[in-house]
Structure 1
């Protein structure tokens, strides 16, 4: 018996057509992630798929590549529909599809989301976008107006299904499932598997193959170090400032509970000299996209966000997530900390708890399957040392 471990699969082993393999090579993709290695052959085989995977595991390529493999660009009609909970994620998925399809001449993808005018969307749908990536609310608007056609639909994908259900889109999703042709291949991806997601799969999918990457070495949480500090509410800003002096932060997402808190904290951080901005539902779509773009380009180091505004946020340079306010439930915590440690990079998730909130730690540790390290706040000496170290680096 040989002790040699089987070789890791390559993208060329998964059954993808040459134009997609060439695109992956030009984009620098080397070996498929675990979710890609399992999901791509399953979807290429025509099976429905139920995937339990965190953000940052490569799940966009896991469904995008098989969908593109099945698109007939000579047919000017919508053949695939991908639903996402937020505008930001819809744009990111559409951008990914465009990059993977760089060698598919004539291919078109359209992102449909609220906050943008209908007229250009109508025209793009009339021209026949091959793939539509949409938020449930805007898709429902187009369905009512009859502007999206389902006759040639071959694929339906739900990305972050648990988030869409949490946001109250269950009826909208049911309506979409009822509208697509019966033989449409369906894939559902979710970071968590609450009863609502199971219900959707049971009602609308044909014996889906199930892939679970929620625990074990394939979980994206393995790249994240979790820490907790006990901090009274009125000391949180000072505690955060100390942490920023000593932690090697490249970019940080700070989570708060309300839109007002998002705006106020970002302004207080700016007053202390940090490159910070708020990201919340009160901002126009244009302003939100500007904040995300500035974060990606390194013009911002800190974004103070609400849970809803940060859904689907995918910026590789985010090295830290700070739970300034405790999330409402463990699922939200998993989604929050999944904004760091992406694409194989390590990340740090920091949690502030008040003395009364300490009892929540056990629930969060159970949700992540990991111990959350309890830490003491940095001393004045550590802060001074951190400042000197950063100064030396800049010089």
Structure 2
């Protein structure tokens, strides 16, 4: 019996010693793709007849993290290639690169604007991204005013890796509602279920040293339909989700400009039917602070009457902006406020009635916006 136990223990020890990483790759030989761009090629740019797109990305120079002498002090390496499809182009780069590409750490994919203006190519690119198991479902997809390769090539002063730069901005901005959420999971889900979605829109500054988010691109049936500015995107977020620090509302009270900073927002939508038309009721509750009016003016909002009057002005301003946004979306029946999804979840009989002709119902839909704004703090008063 002792001999059997001895053999068993020796077998376990030997098995442990023999295990190892057969596919081990040194970190210096890995290429961690953090930000990736995709552009549609013009005819004069093609190197081969079948080329359709250009893929570009940067790889951080991980050798700089070590203590050994490195052959270059560049913070990152830029790579690009042309190809017929997304994944074949990635394979082209992998065959030429001295690195083993690691895509699972990728933070963003930037699409050149011409991609979303070409329906068939856009569908092919999205399908290639969606099917690629190496990508995280939480990465962001953005659309750029310029070519995506121009954005990828920028070296922001604060962070030379564009993907990290965007990731740092987007992480908090999406949570507090100041930027559209363009994660892969969300846009693919909305395109499949609602046929419409919004991608964050980005551009570079005049000095080519920074990049910024400037609004959103609304896509329906894989076609670019409408562009939203940054403020319209914030009101869209106000309708679609609960947020905080979402925006400032500026009103004029007794000829004095007053700034109301929204610190929290809750919303709810209800869809009903009246006279064979859809009726959308949007309920928005906001809380916030008075952050500015004019120094030297005492007692302007230091009483219940003044506070309530400013609250009413803020409510009207929010209603006005939300109504303008809804009217803009109704022109092309862009259901990025999830009316159809709400019907499907909470009113199946009405959903079945309007489903086949939903676009027309959406265009003619009556909208009622109900806003309740509360001022919680008016700042330090001396």
TM-score bin, normalised by smaller chain: under 0.3
User: Relative CO higher for 1 or 2, CA cutoff 8 Å, sep ≥ 6?
Assistant: 1
Decide which structure has greater strand share. 2
**Taking structure 1 as the reference length, what is the TM-score of the superposition?**
0.22
TM-score w.r.t. the length of structure 2 is 0.23
